[in-house]
Amino acid sequence: MEIMKVEGLTKVIKKKTLIYDISFSIKQGEVFGFLGPNGAGKTTTIRMLTGMIKPTSGNIYINGWNIETDFSKAMRHMGGIVENPSLYLYMSGWENLKQRARLLDSNPTDKDLSDIVELIGLSSRIHEKAVHFSLGMKQRLGIGLALIGRPKMIILDEPINGLDPQGIIDVRNLIQYLSREKNISVFISSHILSELEHVLDRGIIIHEGKKVTDIEKKDLQEADKHTYQIEFQTELTKEEIKAIFHLHKVQIIHMTDSHIHFSTNTNGAQQILSSFINQKIVITHFLKKEKSLERIYLEAIGSKEKSV
């Protein structure tokens, strides 16, 4: 089921086009990445998705409701943090949750709010003033605010920006839990690509207001793999060499009598090397090429810039 559908989203301000005809969809329970360099149009797009500004053209549907014609019904299914959590620092975390519920005209019970507090891991600190919270705690409280009203989707703009390693892990685990266990769709805009690899199901990359590529699950799964080149000397036949790769379920990309280009993870490469040594195959050269979400991103942006 699609929780969000975006069709031909375009934004023009003072005769300058900032967003060009962007389309994508998000399924229920997915973690969806929205990637792009600074100035690509990510924040402008997010402001349109959340109803903060109107698109010049295009349609945005949330759980089937068009936000232009049925804004209240559409927004009932979505929460979010745009840029930074909007907190009342002089209030406690608990009071912030109660205040957000009043602003949303929502009527959660104390049990509902307590469940959110437990989910975001702030049970022991929730009655302290937010001004004393660390950046990571503020970010988790912001996610808690976004969850009031039981939305089917939340939008997070740079949710791990500026966090220390433990804060990043906490937010990452929370995002995965919301998606996997609560079936809540999570839309993430972020530039910390190494962290997004751990959580994304799908996504898109935009550049200069235009979508340049889609990222699918298979791309993210393959981002854990690397490509390797190995040169060797042996009296074994090609078929005998291929059998080694077949035994370890490692994909050969290209092969000659003395050279093999293959793709696998680190463990698979170690198994191949061990087998070569056991078979007394002389390795004359070995090269590893990293493949990651960052590389997918840079290749997409680079190809776009070359085509301009």
Domain that holds residue 242: 224-289
- In a shared domain, residues 135 and 281: no
- In a shared domain, residues 199 and 256: no
Residue 235 structure tokens: 């009296």
Q: From 196, 221, 246, give the residue that closes a domain.
A: 221
229-248 pLDDT, tens per residue?
899 999 999 999 999 999 99
- In a shared domain, residues 177 and 28: yes
pLDDT value of position 27 = 95
**Which pTM was predicted?**
0.74
Q: What is the CATH classification number for the domain harbouring 241?
A: 3.30.70.1150
187-225 pLDDT, tens per residue?
998 877 766 777 889 999 999 999 998 888 766 656 556
Residue 19 structure tokens: 């967003």
56-108 pLDDT, tens per residue?
999 999 999 999 999 999 999 999 887 677 899 999 999 999 999 988 878 88
Helix extents (H) in 185-260: 193-199, 217-222, 238-247
Instruction: Count the domains in the chain.
Output: 2
Determine the Cα–Cα distance for residues 128 and 94; give it in Å rounded to an integer. 8
130-158 pLDDT, tens per residue?
999 998 899 899 999 999 989 999 999 88
- In a shared domain, residues 187 and 236: no
- In a shared domain, residues 129 and 253: no
> Among 6-10, 158-162, 273-277, which is the least confidently predicted range?
158-162
- In a shared domain, residues 267 and 211: no
Determine the Cα–Cα distance for residues 97 and 64; give it in Å rounded to an integer. 28
- In a shared domain, residues 206 and 88: yes
Q: Which residues contact 136 (CB under 8 A, 6 or more apart)?
A: 163, 164, 166, 167, 168, 170, 171
Determine the Cα–Cα distance for residues 88 and 102; give it in Å rounded to an integer. 14
Is the residue at 302 inside a domain?
no
- In a shared domain, residues 134 and 283: no
pLDDT value of position 300 = 74
- In a shared domain, residues 35 and 87: yes
- In a shared domain, residues 36 and 162: yes
- In a shared domain, residues 45 and 191: yes
- In a shared domain, residues 251 and 211: no
